[in-house]
Amino acid sequence: MRQRNLPLSIFAFVGGTIMLFSEAARTRDTTSSQSFYIVTHVFSDDLPSGYEEILQVMPQATDVCVRVIRISAANPYCGGQLVRAAIRIFPNTTVEKVAGSIDLCSYTEPEVAAALKRAPPKRAPVIEDAASQDIVARCRAQERVFGFPNPEEVDLKALERNDPGVSSVWDLNYKIRSRAFGKHFSFQNLPADKEKEFEDLGTKLLPELVSGTFDAGFGGYTCAKQKCDTNYLAWLLTGYAGAPANGDPSSVELVNAAALQLAHYASLSYARAWVTG
């Protein structure tokens, strides 16, 4: 009797094992990411130096489009935002190849969070300029959000040693940005023609920015310390219609001169006085 039931027992065991593996596969989701974007949140004690930057990687027919979008202070002197963007097309390739064969959908949020927790800093971090990241991957009908803190809050060597995969995911922004636009790419000190090109593209992308497409990358953000009625970028870019004119407080411009009846107008000039102690 036992010998007759043995095949059935083996079958039941194998069947149960297959079911377990199926459950694990469904939980982990081995489907390659369809697209992803990385939001870098930069905060500085020098407030105008802070910015939000979005690196987006998405398929475009048989190609892959990489865009980097920066939202920063318009200038150091007054409020207002400036949106600039650059684009690069990689022909005849896939999102996974552009990502260096890193499949974001093979990771789960708890798995990444646990890896970061296993690599605490050796000493209390001193943070002056913060640069955290949120990586948002489209996996089938779901979005997965992987949060990475400021680098000072993690022992990076321990993370690379213990969880090299998660460490590589954290480096993804730098690697793709460098590959697409060059290691020394910057939005600062650009020639006038290049500055205009980036500003025009940023303005062109405005409808997409305020549409809620990037909501997941700004989770927990507030609008003027209040809960946002809409998405964060829609609030931040309210009224934005293009790059504002640069203003220098040391210069003065006569406004609406045609409506004024002046016999003579002398432009004012201001001298900067430096006080040393």
Q: What is the pTM of this model?
A: 0.78
How many CB atoms lie under 10 A from the CB of residue 24? Answer: 9
What distance in Å separates the CA atoms of residue 170 and residue 153, rounded to the nearest whole number? 13
How many CB atoms lie under 10 A from the CB of residue 83? Answer: 25
CB 68 within 8 A of CB 181: yes
What distance in Å separates the CA atoms of residue 173 and residue 180, rounded to the nearest whole number? 11
Write down the pLDDT at residue 253: 57
Q: Which residue type is seen at 226?
A: Q
Using alpha carbons, select from 193, 169, 242, 185 the residue that is nearest to residue 67: 185
Q: Which residue type is seen at 3?
A: Q
Tell me the pLDDT of the chain (277 aa) as tens digits: 334 444 444 434 444 444 443 444 434 444 567 899 999 999 887 767 889 999 999 999 999 999 999 999 888 776 789 999 999 999 999 999 999 999 999 999 999 999 999 999 998 877 777 899 999 999 988 999 999 999 999 999 999 999 999 999 999 999 999 999 999 999 988 999 999 999 999 999 999 999 999 999 998 898 888 888 779 999 999 999 888 865 455 555 555 555 566 677 666 655 444 444 4
Write down the pLDDT at residue 269: 56
Determine whether 221 is exposed, middle or buried from the number of CB atoms within 10 Å of its CB (0-12, 13-18, 19+).
middle
CB 102 within 8 A of CB 172: yes
Distance of CA 155 to the CA centre of its chain: 22
The residue extents of the domains of the chain are 35-236
What distance in Å separates the CA atoms of residue 102 and residue 168, rounded to the nearest whole number? 8
User: In the block, which residue shows the tokens 């409808």?
Assistant: 207
What distance in Å separates the CA atoms of residue 225 and residue 117, rounded to the nearest whole number? 28
- Strands (DSSP E) contained in the chain are 35-43, 51-60, 63-73, 81-90, 130-139, 142-148
Write down the pLDDT at residue 128: 73
Using alpha carbons, select from 118, 143, 145 the residue that is nearest to residue 134: 145
